[in-house]
Amino acid sequence: KFRADCGSYSEDVVKVVSEHSEQFYLRASNCQSRLETFEKCKDWRPVEINFEQLEVASFDFDDFMPEAGFRLVVQRQEIK
């Protein structure tokens, strides 16, 4: 397994990591270009992560390697 923060969110890193790791998780920062897609999603499910209540949804991710079948898991949290 491989985990990295948003500094590793690049095509080069995804290619190298996918060649050497069966599972990997990369954190991406806010993505304005996908915001409309996220807002239209109706499949959000509640989860608790590090004692915080969030919602998550999964989207196809084919930006870098479409043939790989990657997915993008997005989390959102209500601003109070």
Lookup result for tokens 């690049």: 10
The whole-number average pLDDT for the span 53-67 is 89
Q: Is the pLDDT of residue 71 over 90?
A: no
Long-range Cβ pairs for the range 75-79 (8 Å, 24+): 75/47, 75/49, 76/38, 76/44, 77/52, 77/53
pLDDT tens by residue, 14-59 = 899 889 988 888 776 677 888 889 999 999 999 998 899 999 999 9
- Work out how many domains the chain is built from and give that number: 1
Domain limits for position 32:
2-76
